[in-house]
Amino acid sequence: MNAPIELPGVWAEVGQSHPHESAILHVLGSATYADDVTELHGTLHAALGLSQQAHASFTQIDLAAVRASAGVVAVFTAADIAGVNDCGPILHDDPVFADGLVQYVGQPLFVVVADTHDNARRAARLAQVDYTVLPAHLTAASAHAAKSYVLPPMRLQRGDFQRKFAAAPHHATGTLSVGGQEQFYLEGQIAYAIPKENRAMLVLCSTQHPSEMQHVVAHVLGLQSHHVTVECRRMGGGFGGKESQSALWAAAAALSAAALQRPVKLRADRDDDMLVTGKRHCFDYDYAVGYDDDGRIVAAKVEMVLRAGYSADLSGPVATRAICHVDNAYYLSDVDLSAVCAKTNTQSNTAFRGFGGPQGALAIEYAIDEIARTLGRDALDIRRLNFYGDSGRDTTPYGQQLDDNVIHALVAELDDSSQYRQRRVAVNAFNASSPLLKKGLAITPVKFGIAFNVNHLNQAGALVHVYVDGSVLVNHGGTEMGQGIHTKVMQVVAQELGIALAHVRVTATDTSKIANTSATAASTGADLNGKAAQDAARQIRDRLATFAAGQYGVPASEVRFADGRVLVAGQSLAFADVVAKAYLARVQLWSDGFYATPGLHWDAASMTGHPFSYYAYGAAVSEVLVDTLTGEWKLLRADALYDAGQSLNPAIDIGQVEGAFIQGMGWLTTEELCWNKDGKLTTHAPSTYKIPTVSDCPEDFRVKLFTNRNVSDSIHRSKAVGEPPLLLPFSVFFAIRDAVSSVGGHRIHPPLHAPATSEEILNAIEAVQLAAGAV
């Protein structure tokens, strides 16, 4: 009786390169960030008073001059905290305000609230503190030597490293140090706290983790979570720096607002932001790798010392991820991998794009680079030889079996498309005839595990409202930091309901809408919240299908939603018309949705299990030109190939790969954190801390997505893209090392550490020249 339904052939909202939902607003300057929200009448402004000592006890803070300063309304210290003086995410070793003990230069002692931002900042500097100076550990090495740690050590062993290493015909051993990195989000930390009736508090906060902010604010104020609402429409970047460390700012603003019963805004000045907040962990490594005559690794030991800073923050999960990424794309049969989190009198280091993964993987790449040089082989051949492979060579040191390995095909494609082999010959020819300018070339792979390595965080919720006019409002637990999560979630909902993206809108992340959310982190934002939103949208669609099918007496399974139409019983009805009719028939047109990633488990004691839902893969080739007289260098060309599975939005994913590549390049080359002998961070502004700019981007930058489909049942078989491409610029670092190594005829391993600043490059060149001369 019913004609078969004609499905529109190629209709799809997912998989399309839609612009970022706020792209036009960004360009017009009309996208509202926390500081752009029109201030309420009576709003006050806050600033933090910071410790001038790296480690000292104190009994008293003399605040007389602060209180007397122009425009000051109030000052609050640890003594004024009604609830708990703590904003630590896991352990409770992070006071909001130092209480009798300061542990780094820049640690907040008090908050001063004034009529203007400038008056608050001026007053904050006027406190007198009677410090009794204590000995400080300013480097991870010094803390490690004193066995001063924020957490117990971690170790993952498989097989018999000792025996395999001893029996190996060749050994690559050495040390490496890799610097930290400032997140340098363009919008600094900010919280705007607005008291509401009956003790409630609304906090507009630039944060990746609204639920955690809610939790911390409630604790600090001595309230229940239901008193506190945290909202975030968007961040001007987070990069991990607003996963836990937005808490201090939220807490300080909220406690001021609660005490004064007036709205209080706390916006960090850039220098304060850099002095107060933690960064990517710098790592010191000791490595020992045994390998055979072909370059195949038979044993690997990597000991890592992380600079945790004064408190634990997220250092535990960061160290865990580092250990779980030492293997990168390589099968390591017999390993001894360990990490300690050194307690230093510096900022408490925290999440930063990659979350320890980049630091873990860099160590094995460094060793492989040396294996290739020792054997006189191209590093690509050694990398390939060691890639994960078929059964027997497909299980990670922590016991997860790879069922989605595409590294061979991906690297083969990149090898071809980048003309790596031909360019290697050309680079050698160039170097033979160029005594001072030297070229370098490198290709490096990436394998990155996707999921929070803390199991319970792998869950998400969403709320989808379909209004009577057929328009759709979506709310989910993820936060927008520029990465495009809202655009992707909108696409998922549009796809599910068969409507155009223009009819879907995402609203600010809000703890009063979705409860108990995880941080938008671990690259899982779109994976988790996309699935939750799909679940919600699907429930509404199913109800609409049942309703429409009932009208025509056909099975609900025959109803289709596509192209803004509902196809039923040979009829094509406008989506909005079906919605309007369903409303009159009292069909529920909104739904919640939930998702919890299946199949994950992890045993922290043995460091084994199945911590990742799947792996994302990638590879990049970089070619650099190094001036051996000045250490200056230029990235001539970069080719990157990234596995985003069936990409939800190729344009956004390519943007993520490009951004992560340049950000990772900055970490490994120009971005250098320096502390002076008193423990003060001296690189606390863009004048002294060099992030990449547009002129550092390669003129020839070829970024492609690898054709693939997630083996795992991820959202539309896509793969995460936020963090893994940060490892692609390993190729830049090793291209620089290659160029430096050419100075010694590729016989000496350049002792190049990261960041490979011009100074570091010159030192490495000198070391190679000295060693080459001595041979």
Closest CA to 627 of 411, 462, 436: 436
Round to whole Å and give the CA distance between 138 and 145.
12
Among 180, 210, 240, 357, binds ligand MOS (CB under 6 A): 240
Do the beta carbons of residue 531 and residue 485 sit within 8 Å? Answer: no
The residue length of the chain stands at 775
Q: Which is nearer to ligand MOS, 283 or 352 (CB)?
A: 352
Among 13, 21, 187, 243, binds ligand MOS (CB under 6 A): 243
431 binds, among ligand HPA, ligand MTE, ligand MOS, none (CB under 5 to 8 A by kind): none
Contacts of 289 (CB under 8 A, 6+ apart): 171, 172, 173, 297, 299, 300, 301, 364, 367, 371
Q: In terms of C-beta density within 10 A (0-12 exposed, 13-18 middle, 19 or more buried), how is residue 217 classed?
A: buried
Instruction: Print burial letters for 219-240: b (CB count within 10 Å at least 16), e (below 16).
Output: bbbebeeebbbbbbbbbbbbbb
Among 106, 317, 525, 666, binds ligand HPA (CB under 6 A): 317
With CB under 6 A as the contact rule, which of the stretches 222-230, 346-354, 356-364, 541-549 interacts with ligand MOS? 346-354
Query: Helix 575-584 crosses helix 525-552 at what angle (to 10 degrees)?
Result: 70
240 is a contact residue toward ligand MTE (CB under 6 A): yes
φ and ψ at 313, to 5 degrees? 45, -125
With CB under 6 A as the contact rule, which of the stretches 43-51, 328-336, 515-523, 698-706 interacts with ligand MTE? 515-523
Among 351, 451, 501, 548, binds ligand MOS (CB under 6 A): 351
Annotation marks residue 723 as catalytic: yes
**SS3 call for 124:** helix
DSSP tag of 518? P
Among 108, 317, 593, 722, binds ligand MTE (CB under 6 A): 722
321 binds, among ligand HPA, ligand MTE, ligand MOS, none (CB under 5 to 8 A by kind): ligand HPA
Distance of closest approach, residue 355 Cβ to ligand MOS, in angstroms: 5
Closest CA to 209 of 175, 168, 240, 186: 240
Question: How many residues bind ligand HPA, per CB under 6 A?
Answer: 13
Distance of closest approach, residue 281 Cβ to ligand MOS, in angstroms: 11
**SS3 call for 534:** helix
Q: Which is nearer to ligand MTE, 655 or 751 (CB)?
A: 655
With CB under 6 A as the contact rule, which of the stretches 41-49, 236-244, 427-435, 452-460 interacts with ligand MTE? 236-244
With CB under 6 A as the contact rule, which of the stretches 172-180, 515-523, 680-688, 692-700 interacts with ligand HPA? 515-523
Query: Binding string to ligand HPA for residues 446 to 485, with x set by CB under 6 A, is what?
Result: ------xxx--x----------------------------
Do the beta carbons of residue 241 and residue 185 sit within 8 Å? Answer: yes
Q: Which is nearer to ligand MOS, 240 or 461 (CB)?
A: 240
Query: Binding string to ligand MTE for residues 647 to 686, with x set by CB under 6 A, is what?
Result: ---------x--x---------------------------
Do the beta carbons of residue 104 and residue 54 sit within 8 Å? Answer: yes
Count of CB atoms within 10 A of residue 523's CB?
Answer: 27
317 is a contact residue toward ligand MTE (CB under 6 A): no
352 is a contact residue toward ligand MOS (CB under 6 A): yes
Question: How many residues bind ligand MTE, per CB under 6 A?
Answer: 22
DSSP per-residue letters across 181-237:
B----SS--EEEEEE-STT-EEEEE--S-HHHHHHHHHHHHT--GGGEEEEES--S-
Among 18, 215, 281, 353, binds ligand MOS (CB under 6 A): 353
Residues in 515-554 at the binding interface with ligand MOS, rule: CB under 6 A: 521-522
Among 22, 107, 208, 731, binds ligand MOS (CB under 6 A): 208
Annotated catalytic residue within 182, 365, 723, 760? 723
Contacts of 523 (CB under 8 A, 6+ apart): 448, 450, 616, 720, 721, 722, 723, 724
Residues in 521-560 at the binding interface with ligand MTE, rule: CB under 6 A: 521-526
Among 124, 441, 481, 743, binds ligand MTE (CB under 6 A): 481
353 is a contact residue toward ligand MTE (CB under 6 A): yes
Round to whole Å and give the CA distance between 42 and 572.
55
Distance of closest approach, residue 523 Cβ to ligand HPA, in angstroms: 8
Start-to-end CA distance of the chain, whole Å, equals 89
**SS3 call for 340:** strand
Do the beta carbons of residue 66 and residue 127 sit within 8 Å? Answer: yes
Do the beta carbons of residue 96 and residue 252 sit within 8 Å? Answer: yes
Q: Which is nearer to ligand MTE, 183 or 591 (CB)?
A: 183
Q: For strand 264-267 and strand 44-50, is the pairing parallel, antiparallel, or unpaired?
A: parallel
Q: Which is nearer to ligand MOS, 479 or 591 (CB)?
A: 479
Do the beta carbons of residue 461 and residue 530 sit within 8 Å? Answer: no
Q: Which is nearer to ligand HPA, 421 or 601 (CB)?
A: 601
522 is a contact residue toward ligand HPA (CB under 6 A): yes
> Which residues in this chain contact ligand MTE in the complex, by CB under 6 A?
237-240, 353, 478, 481-483, 485, 520-526, 656, 659, 720, 722-723
> Which residues in this chain contact ligand MOS in the complex, by CB under 6 A?
208, 240, 243, 351-353, 355, 521-522, 723
> Which residues in this chain contact ligand HPA in the complex, by CB under 6 A?
243, 314, 317, 321, 351, 355, 452-454, 457, 519, 521-522
- Please identify every residue annotated as catalytic: 723
